[in-house]
Amino acid sequence: MDERPVGLDRAEGRRLYGRDPSGYDAGRPDYPSGLYDVLEDRCRARADARVLEIGPGTGRVTRRLLALGAKVTAVEPNADIASWLADRLTSPDLQVIVAPFEDAGLPTASFDLAVAATSFHWVQPDPGLVELRRVLRPGAWLALWWILFEDPSDPDEVDREVERLLGASPSGAAPGRRPFQLDELGRLGELRRAGFVDATSEVLRSQHRMDAAQTVALYSTMAIVLRRSDDEQTRLLDALGELVADRFGGSVTRTFVTALYTARNPSPGARSNPG
């Protein structure tokens, strides 16, 4: 059963997120610093590593990888975002491929690390993970993660008001169900079925102080808003800005949750813990 977040199919999502790359880049916050520590310390992101990035978007993670000296192949299905990214990151260590990951035709055993930052739900999980095993070198690492702009385990007053305005959880979870992003058994099970080993999960929480304009910029990048009519988007975004400005005194402190999954492509003949 496909338990991906409700509300968008893959084709629609790929189309919607390319409408306003500059707005997306301005509205989305960075991931917690601890995530980048894991990429370096556990997953061996470093100078000269060949890294595959699935769904780079506007390049928030891409920039960090290039700053380490990694050589990045970024596979982006949306042509508008891919063009925006290539225009702004002109590093010789970056190759941008415009294609869904499933159709990218990447060479076998050619990458030391693969990452997908809040993007792997646009890939069919079981065949996508098998394809990742093919393109990763033996012993190479995979890191998949998603950021949720709420804390489902401990919702605060802002979370409840935002959900009331939007009519659903921003994470895309079906009512009464654990968010796909935080379903450790499901996500780890997918990794193990594909043959990855040493699969682990962790949750990173980060605090973000946001004023009304920043709140509007963030929610204007979310599928739950983007899929609505222009008039409805304007109404919702105005209401969110007014919520922060009037009810919460002009700014709010939000707790965001990043769910991180890492696993390793086994080396032939190696004995390892399957996770």
Terminus-to-terminus CA distance in the chain, angstroms?
A: 23
pLDDT of residue 9: 64
pLDDT band at 169 (very low <50, low <70, confident <90, very high): confident
Asked if residue 232 belongs to a domain, the reply is no
186-192, long-range: CB within 8 Å, 24+ apart, which pairs? Answer: 186/3, 187/144, 187/259, 187/261, 188/261, 188/275, 190/125, 190/126, 190/129, 191/129, 191/142, 191/261, 191/263, 191/275, 192/263, 192/274, 192/275
Asked if residue 199 belongs to a domain, the reply is yes
Q: Cα separation of 212 and 240, whole Å? A: 8
pLDDT of residue 19: 77
What are the tens digits of pLDDT across the range 39-68? 999 999 999 999 999 999 999 999 999 999
pLDDT at 254 over 80: yes
81: domain CATH number? 3.40.50.150
**Average pLDDT over every residue of 136-161:** 94
Q: Packing angle between helix 157-166 and helix 230-242, nearest 10 degrees?
A: 160
What are the tens digits of pLDDT across the range 205-240? 999 999 999 999 999 999 889 889 999 999 999 999
pLDDT at 274 over 60: no
- Please give the model's pTM, rounded to 2 decimal places: 0.92
Mean pLDDT of the chain: 91
Asked if residue 46 belongs to a domain, the reply is yes
**Average pLDDT over every residue of 258-274:** 80
pLDDT of residue 178: 83
Asked if residue 269 belongs to a domain, the reply is no
pLDDT of residue 173: 67
pLDDT of residue 223: 86
- The answer to whether residues 77 and 53 touch, using CB atoms and an 8 Å cutoff, is no
Asked if residue 249 belongs to a domain, the reply is no
Asked if residue 183 belongs to a domain, the reply is yes
Q: Which residue has the tokens 């700053």?
A: 67
pLDDT band at 174 (very low <50, low <70, confident <90, very high): low
- Name the residue range of residue 91's domain: 10-150+177-207+257-264
User: 98 exposed, middle or buried (CB, 10 Å; 0-12, 13-18, 19+)?
Assistant: middle
Rg of the chain on CA atoms, in Å: 19
What are the tens digits of pLDDT across the range 6-37? 445 666 666 667 778 899 999 999 999 999 99
**Average pLDDT over every residue of 156-184:** 86
- Non-local (6+) Cβ contacts of 90 within 8 A are none
| Domain total in the chain | 1
- The answer to whether residues 239 and 188 touch, using CB atoms and an 8 Å cutoff, is no
Asked if residue 84 belongs to a domain, the reply is yes
